[in-house]
Amino acid sequence: MTRSRRRLVALAATAALAFTGATAGPALAEVPPDAPEQLRNGDFSAGVSPWFSYGTGELAVTDGRLCTTVAAGTANPWDAGIGQDAVPLISGAEYELSFDVSATPGAALKAVLQLGSAPYTTYASVDATATGTAKHVTTTFTAPADNAGAQLIFQVGGSAQAQTFCLDNVSLRGGEAAPPYEPDTGPRVRVNQVGYLPGGPKHATVVTEATGALPWQLKSAAGAVVASGETTPRGVDEASAQNVQTVDFSAYRTPGTGYTLTVDGETSHPFDISGTLYDRLRADSLQFFYAQRSGIAIDGDLIGDEYARPAGHLDVAPNKGDTDVPCQPGVCDYKLDVRGGWYDAGDHGKYVVNGGIATYQLLNTFERTKTAETADGGAALGDATLRVPERGNDVPDVLDEARWELDFLLRMQVPAGKPLAGMVHHKIHDQNWTGLPLAPQDDPQVRELHPPSTAATLNLAAVAAQCARLFAPYDAAFATRCGTAAKTAYAAAKAHPAIYASASDGTGGGAYEDNNVTDEFYWAAAELWLTTGDKAYLADVTGSPLHTADVFTPNGAFGWQSVAALGRLDLATVPNTLPAAEKTRIRASITAAADRYLATIADQAYGLPMPGTADAYVWGSNSNIVNNTIVLATAFDLSRNAKYRDGAVQAADYLFGRNALNMSYVTGWGEQNAHNQHSRIFGHQLNPDLPAPPAGSLAGGPNAALQDPYAANLLAGCAPMFCYVDDINSYATNEVAINWNSALAWLASFLADQGDAAAVPTPTCAVTYTTHGSWPSGFTTQVTVRNTGTSAVNGWSLRWAFTGDQKVSQSWSAQVAQSGATVTAKNLAWNATLAPGASTTFGLNGTGSGAPNPDPTLITLNGRACTIS
């Protein structure tokens, strides 16, 4: 996720006339004194926002003026600048630009109104010479073109001496006052526009002035009324400021397409009722990562011709490339090959802390298939299930996709023999911000490694430890490489526990600052212990105050800056040797958090697991909602209690249209869906020759802070759920990001696994799994399965998964086979039938590298979970 970013500016490639008090025409523009103001916070009374800078020191308000420093020796005026985006201009309208400026010791500057992306056409400009005494500058002009999102840039570079520049009373008057923005919210009946699972919850929200209950009708595609009832009044919803009522039609379970819901004279968008609603979303949401890959040509045959492009950042002009990247000045004396990985969000930067949580969620999507009954042993995430170039290599495709980022993360580690060896560079990105749109292969900027950080180092330690156990059955050499890197990184972080990324290091890329890494230490120690069984890591886990703390917060259970919950979730789900009482306590903390999210769902008229307060609707709010939903889904996997599954299924409704804007936030999903997300790669809105974001891309979502000027100009005073606009210029509400799509991919896989969401079956089998002997390179295990049901079992197949590189070498009394980590044991002719109460026993010998060999927590008989004793 991109933090509050300062969007750059580049020199106008096409110069127009310079304005020094006169228009381009023969007469001065005449701007009336009551002309509307087009700039925001020009007197800086509200602080720095929405002003940004590049090539300068940090912006600050001093004595009511906006001030910054510029280092000596910048080559060109445009090498440093102060600016504001989303400045509206109307062709033919007359404007007056004015400002007060000073500089110490003194320098020239230019104010430029320009197109904010290539070719950076200049609409108007004015030159000035600034001294230690504030000077008032003014000019008038006639706008030569329409542009709702122009940029005003003060070019302050090019001086041989270091300078301090200060601005005040910056004003652009003229044109027309912006009309109030009214989003098209469609029908007042808000539903999940994708649909509902037959056995799952089915809720809708109605915006109405009525305060009493209203009749509702559910209609088939043919218009027949198939169900009816009355709404429940909910009053004024805090998050949307709307008077609303809710509809519950969960009792209707007949599959079909094109259903609509009619209430209060309004008819909803159509939707389906089906057990296969989300099957394609699993693939679409994961496909996003292939589209975001760096350092590889994107194959149109896999993803669609419009998305085909050459490899980005491989030193092919105009790219400076990622194969031999230097550090920022003064940071290091070496260069690294850091090719590959995923572009983080709407820019071309690659960030370890955001790559870490995104990689974790893809790896965890696969690891869940080993422990969740509904995941069917990972069949839907196996090899050749996704459209990736590695398909057909006998490795699950989701692991192949995760590996593309893992390889990059490993390359970011400081080499042995260098200062801070084993630490990990925080990020790599362009020296300066680039404009919109810009395909990766066309990026001309110099790339730089930024200083190592403890947070980035621990992110690598955690996901590389995951990698070591999950890749062990498929690629032993890569698993070993991951394991070594994880241990090295953790040791380096312990030696350097407080190296933090600078909050001011936000030129050309997001800062991703984090000055509290106790959660990263906890997460990394948990992953390393689960993978290695080393008691030293367990001591760090149990010694952390976070081990017994409530780590699940209301506004977002976890995120890139708060990862303790990741350790908690894995300690609860990944098989391990914690004492039974400790496992029970950890799992209870997850169900307790899930219960709180269920209470929030019940309290919210739009049925989402997040409070309705403005502080909950932040940058990337949609991913926070999904991550809370993942806690609900995990509680279901652990408990098999349908209330948690139903809560997760209902929470998804918000993403697909049951919200104040009647908007599906996932591209290509739902009748009214977001499709103009902020992205340099997917810039179709600005350049028709470029593609729109691919289907399955999740928008960041409503953000009450409105940190980008486009949204701030349009949405000032918005109720939290309305603080969103589907426009490429709104990076604070509408950006794409890998950690948002990783959350969606996890949830999509869970939803697809639920099928019809029928009643959870009662176990009709019990298994005793006993490892009788274990030595450094092997083990002997005996398994007894008993039929606890009321009907005979005629032919049985038992399935479980190992956690690491264990392999069955010999078996008796069953046909035992293994694929990857998954073991399948089938009956022989003589023990095929199990009468009620009957049991049979078989055994096996196995090999392993000496890593932990915990008992599995999920064993299925003919696809249904057994009780394990």
Q: Which residues are catalytic?
A: 347, 678, 726, 735
Give the separation between CA 25 and CA 7, rounded to whole angstroms: 32
Q: State the angle between helix axes of 397-411 and 476-495 in degrees (0 to 180), rounded to the nearest 10.
A: 40
What are the backbone angles phi and psi of residue 541, rounded to the nearest 5°? -65, -55
> What does the longest C-alpha to C-alpha distance in the chain come to?
102
Please state, in angstroms and rounded to a whole number, the distance separating the CA atoms of residues 502 and 493. Answer: 17
Name the 3-class secondary structure at 511. Answer: coil
Smallest CA-to-CA distance from 648 within 621, 666, 625, 616 is with 625
Contacts 24+ apart (CB under 8 A), 326-329: 326/448, 326/449, 327/425, 327/448, 327/449, 327/450, 327/451, 328/448, 328/449, 328/450, 328/451
One-letter amino acid at 376 equals D
Q: Report the candidate in 168, 514, 205, 566 with the shortest Cα–Cα distance to residue 362.
A: 566
User: Taking a C-beta distance cutoff of 8 angstroms, is the pair 485, 460 a contact?
Assistant: yes
Task: Tell me the backbone φ, ψ of residue 772, rounded to 5 degrees.
Answer: -85, -30
> How far apart, in whole angstroms, are the C-alpha atoms of residue 234 and residue 213?
10
Spatial separation of the C-alpha atoms in residues 287 and 270, rounded to whole Å = 26
In the chain, count of helices (H) and strands (E)?
15, 39
SS3 per residue for 128-170: EEECCCCEEEEEEEECCCCEEEEEEEEECCCCCCCEEEEEEEE
* CA–CA dist 537, 527 (Å, integer): 9
Residue with tokens 């009468």: 835
According to the 3-state scheme, what is the secondary structure of 637-688?
HHHCCHHHHHHHHHHHHHHECCCCCCCECECCCCCCECCCCECCCCCCCCCC
At a CB cut-off of 8 Å and minimum separation 6, what does 22 contact? 28, 139, 140
E strands within 225-336? 225-230, 232-236, 243-248, 256-263, 266-267, 271-273, 325-326, 335-336
Evaluated on CA atoms 389, 392, 394, 399, the torsion sign reads positive
For residue 678 the two structure tokens come to 């902020």
Name which of 800, 792, 797, 788 is nearest 853 in CA terms: 800
Enter the DSSP assignment of 629.
H
Containing 739, the helix (H) or strand (E) segment is helix 738-753
Q: Which residues pair with 260 in a beta bridge?
A: 219
- Token readout for 764 is 């009709």
Residue 196 corresponds to which amino acid? Y
The runs of H, that is alpha helices, within 545-609 are 564-573, 580-603
Report the Cα 435 to chain-centroid distance in Å. Answer: 22
CA distances, 482 to each of 259, 477, 563 (Å): 50, 9, 20
Cβ–Cβ under 8 Å, residues 14 and 121: yes
Exposure on the CB side of residue 647, measured as CA atoms within 13 A: 33
